Chains A and B, each alone.
Chain A
Amino acid sequence: MNFGFTPEQELLRDQVRRFLDDNCALPEVRRIMKSAQGYEQGHWQQMAELGWLGLIINESDGGVGLNWVDLVVVLEEMGRSLYPGPYLSTLCFTAALIDITDSHTQKTLLPGIAEGKIKGSLALLDRPGDPHVDNISLEAITTGEGVFLSGSKPFVHDCGSADYFLVAYRQAQDFYLALLDANDPSLERSHSATMDFTKRTGKLTFDNLDISNAPRFKVSEHQINRLFDIGAVGVAAEMIGAAEAVLAITTTYAQDRIQFGHAIGKYQGVKHRLAEMYVDIESFKSLVYYAAWTITDSAEELSRSASLAKAFASDAFAAIGIDAVQLHGAIGFTQEYDIQLYLKRSKWSRASFGNADFHYEKIIEQKQNSQGI
């Protein structure tokens, strides 16, 4: 029994930490997040060389052959630094390639991902809403001339930088994912930063787009749900590091800022809130670690564990983001001060792959279905 990390995983954490501290400290994050591209190609290439882009890709496909528990370590540290770049989206795309596509597709794309040459993103939902198959309504029309998609996919993560998309649609009673080349001129895409400038989204628009030449994969509802759950775990892993950064920044501030003759951290209105933040972060950290473990080692538990983790983290981090700004006083409201960047991240994270309402409902619904209560 070992619910902790191996020495190798701790080394990986140190490596990621050092890389981000050296190359992507917050002033640099601020520069990158305001750039047109939204990420730094040089970092991407270095990350490929360090093996982080192929962490969950098998060695035979050019990767490192590790699993999601190792990834959590990387994501946690990226969250702590608010790393701006398409890492998480490419990761979700990679996970889908591995889960769903055929070996030919995998051989074509996975080595390129590991080398940093290919980035990808999932385009699953076609209307604002929960990560639920009901929100996939795009319907393929088959005629004598081809298979056509007309419609759009809003809020596609890192839509502007992706080289490929896996686009979900329906045909008859079934769900499919089509692998589309982002550079296909007939594929319309827009992109922009969100309120959290370190996270980009965009919209794919299909105007009678013929996908008959694109690789297409039939997927079960269960497989799509698994992708949603994996995404939720990925986001939640970033939330751990980000929330810990908030706590560290705010604790330091509370030790330094003097009012009424004492450091404000002496006052219980301040110190107790910080203690509560610690309690919540410790707790969703445990939930996320376990959920990450279930992705490869206990797949039947993933749905529940991912939802418990994402639900707890979403509520907790949102409140932590707000209260941390409040505990800073007016300086927390300024662009110059970093804490607000994390507040914005908390809102992005909450919205991404399902908020607490959705995940708590999912837990109860599945329990009712399985236990007949």
Chain B
Amino acid sequence: MDFEYTQSEQNFRSEVRQFLDENLPAATDKGPVFMKHWLKKVREKRWVGFSWPKSVGGGGGNIMEQVILKEEMSARKAPPLGTCMMGLAWVGPGIIQYGTEEQKERFLPDILDSKYHWCTGYSEPNVGSDLAALQCKATRDRDEYIINGTKIWTSLAPFASWISMLVRTDNFGETDNKHDGITALLVDLSTQGIDIKPIENMAGGKVFAQIFFDNVRVPIKNRLGEEGNGWAVTISSLANERSSIGEVAGLYTKLEKLTDLLSTSKWNGQAAITDKKIRRTLGRFEAKIEAMRLNGLRYLTKQIKGEPLSSETSVNKLHRAELEVEMGDFAVEKLGEAGLQLRNQEDAVRTGYWATDSLNWPTVVIGGGTPNIQKNIIAERILGLPKD
């Protein structure tokens, strides 16, 4: 056991720090002008798509360098390395792994240059956790697919230009081999026949949408991977997103905010933090976050040693889901009625940050697979218990 870094890793860390000293001085106003400059700079460094191979314009960073970059960026609360989130997280890696040369040339540079947003079309009104049961259908007409059906809960759809989606090209209505017959398509959202209807969430945000496809024609050159192989494409692209360093940094920041809140706000005339139960709860949050950090390092060590990871990442997903629900709820509970005031309302606490936060947890808790599903994964794949 050691937490030391090699000379070249240390050098890389210094390089990142120096870059941050120069390009992200304390109290930087992170407005649009700054962001434009920032994105250009980090792109020049090849830190956008840092884990991608150099041959496709990425940074070719190894696992440890990726970790160091994330750690340093999180520690300084730096803006993101590129704004095309889904493109960087899994659409791009999917294209790198399964895409044609033409697709790589056409899409990867735009993702790295933060040109436009991608969104991800998996869920449908009747298809959620059981994703492989998807029904949105595509039929072949010479060198085109014709899509009919609908996708829902598609995050960023109101702002995105392209969607990476799954459609059914075979095995319609079957339940036994539902994983077969799924195909991945890359679709331009400005194509005729696409209608995007934003959906307002309970916190007031309009980030996801339902998308309707009415005889939408997509050239077959926009298919990702083989026809009928969409399930494998999806599973392996999603596996790219597994480090929890950024999340841990975010949770530690939130815990700081929460501790600060409870140290300064009064209850019955006393600082809330003097209460034993409140202190214990804060300690419990800290233990969970630290456990996430250390679990991440343990799994990272396994990866470095080349040991296969099973579904261990579900461990941190479950912790994070719990923390996201509990921390916001705890803040709002301890603030009493003051905690209910939203931004601009009278007596809003911290401009309603916690009120909003306490309503936003579904993004994390439901968005990436619900806790029940994560527990099924652990029970079945790790513990070897029978499937439902």
Q: Mark A residues whose CB is within 8 Å of B.
A: 1-6, 69, 247, 251, 254-255, 262-263, 265-266, 268, 270-272, 274-276, 278-279, 282-284, 286-287, 289-290, 293, 297, 307-308, 311-312, 315, 356-357, 359-361, 363-365, 367-368, 373
Contact = CB atoms under 8 A, between A and B. Distances in A.
Interface stretch (B92-100, B174-182, B293-301): B293-301
A286 B298 contact: yes
A279 B315 contact: yes
B interface SS class? helix
B386 A262 contact: yes
B385 A271 contact: yes
Nearest to B64: A1
Contact of B294 (A271, A289, A311, A361): A289
Contacts of B286: 308, 363
B378 A254 contact: no
Contacts of B159: none
B233 to A, nearest CB: 28
Contact of A266 (B301, B319, B385): B385
B291 interface: yes
A356 B290 CA distance: 16
A251 B298 contact: no
A357 B260 CA distance: 21
Contacts of A286: 291, 294-295, 297-298
Contact of A282 (B315, B376, B380): B315
CB-based closest 5 A-B pairs = A360-B283, A286-B294, A283-B291, A271-B379, A275-B378
A365 to B, nearest CB: 8
A283 B279 contact: no
B336 to A, nearest CB: 21
A308 B285 CA distance: 10
Contacts of A265: 379, 385-386
B101 to A, nearest CB: 36
Given A1-B304, A360-B280, 6 more contacts: A266-B387, A275-B376, A275-B379, A287-B291, A312-B291, A361-B276
A200 B257 CA distance: 45
A289 B1 contact: yes
A279 B379 contact: no
Interface residues of B, number: 52
A293 B1 contact: yes
Contacts of B294: 3, 283, 286-287, 289-290
A278 B315 contact: yes
Residue with the greatest number of chain B CB neighbours at <10 A, chosen from A6, A263, A279, A307: A279
12 contacts: A2-B2, A2-B304, A262-B386, A265-B386, A268-B388, A271-B376, A275-B383, A278-B382, A287-B290, A307-B283, A312-B288, A356-B284
Contact of B279 (A276, A297, A364): A364
B259 interface: yes
Nearest to B294: A286
A266 B385 CA distance: 7
A266 B376 CA distance: 10
Interface in B240-293: 259-260, 263, 273, 276, 279-280, 282-284, 286-288, 290-292
Interface string B293-334: 011011011101100000010110011000000000000000
A308 B292 CA distance: 12
B300 A361 contact: no
A165 to B, nearest CB: 32
Contacts of A293: 1, 3
